[in-house]
Amino acid sequence: MDQSSNDVPRSVLVVEDEPLIRLAAIALVEDEGFSVFEAENADDAIAILEAHPEICIVFTDVQMAGSMDGLQLVAFARDRWPPLRFIVVSGDAKPDPSNFPEGAHFFTKPYDAATIGRTLHSLI
């Protein structure tokens, strides 16, 4: 994807264990002009983050299989890659906003695509 004229990174990592929901999230992010990396769990997400420093936003579900959930992924990534920004979504969990780092936003599923799009652009 094209970078903006001032070379602000425009790569997003979508982390979602449900394949159809992940594909919908990827399409939403791509429609907003971002390049997308995808992971089905936190372990894959961490490996992708290590290999792709151009990623600037992590868009993650809270509940997923693997060694950690989305909230644990956010906490880990926030400490390891402080410039990252986060969009966290869940259909069930209602996390305490005080647990999120600066620059993180939480939305319940089903989320509004236009709201997610505006939020993505506000984070870069």
Q: What is the CATH number of the domain that holds 75?
A: 3.40.50.2300
The predicted model gives 104-117 an average pLDDT of 94
Task: Please write the tens of the pLDDT for every residue from 37-63.
Answer: 999 999 999 999 999 999 999 999 999
C-alpha 46/C-alpha 67 separation (Å) is 11
Give the chain's domain count: 1
Q: How many CB atoms lie within 10 A of CB 101?
A: 14
Residue 114 belongs to some domain of the structure: yes
Is the pLDDT score of 5 beyond 90? no
Query: Residues near 91 by Cβ (< 8 Å), separated by ≥ 6?
Result: 63, 108, 109, 110
Q: Quote the pLDDT of residue 9.
A: 59
Please, where are the H alpha helices in 17-124? Answer: 19-31, 42-51, 70-80, 113-123
In whole angstroms, what is the distance from residue 95 CA to residue 71 CA?
A: 8
Which range of residues forms the domain containing residue 58? 11-123
- Of the pLDDT bands very low, low, confident and very high (cuts 50, 70, 90), residue 8 is low
User: Is 102 a domain residue?
Assistant: yes
Single pTM value for the model? 0.90
The conformation of residue 33, written as its DSSP 8-state character, comes to T
Query: What end-to-end distance do the CA atoms of the chain give, in Å?
Result: 15
98 is a domain residue:
yes
